[in-house]
Amino acid sequence: MTHPSGQVDHHDPAGTSDHVRDVHASPEFTELRRRSRTFTFAVGAFVLAWFLLLLWAVGFQPDLMATDLGGHITVGLLFAWSQVITTLAVAALFVRHTRTNRALVETLRARLDEGAGR
C-alpha cells in the first residue's frame, strides 16, 4: 500500500499488494531472513549465556570473584567490565552483519520501489 506521500507502507498486511507479497516470497528475502535470524539467535544466546555465567559466579563463587589481581582489581571487576566489552563487540558485529547484507537489502528495496511505481 502507498501513503499519500508516495512512500510504500511495509507494515500494512491488509493492504499489501501482490508485488510486496512476491518480494516477501522471493528467495532473496528468505535468505535475508535466514541470515538475520541465524545471527540474532547465535549472538543472543552467547550474550545471555555470558551474562548468566556472571550472575552465577557472583551468586555462587564469591571467593573467586573477590580474588585480588593487584591493587583494587578483582576477578569480579574484570568479569563485569567484560560485559561492557561484549556489548561493544556485539554492536560492532551487528554493524558488520548489516553491511554484509547491504547488497541484498538494496536489491529487495529496489524491487519494492519498482512495484510502488517509482
Backbone Cα Rg of the chain? 22
Give the 3-state secondary structure of residue 40: helix
Band (110; pLDDT cuts 50, 70, 90): confident
Instruction: Output the pLDDT for position 92.
Output: 97
Closest by Cα among 64, 58, 61 to 83: 58
Question: So where are the chain's domains?
Answer: 18-115
Average pLDDT of every residue of the chain: 86
pLDDT at 15 over 60: no
39 vs 61: CA distance, rounded Å: 32
The model's pLDDT over 42-98, given as tens digits with 9 standing for 90+, comes to 999 999 999 999 999 999 999 999 999 999 999 999 999 999 999 999 999 999 999
What's this model's pTM, rounded to 2 decimal places?
0.71
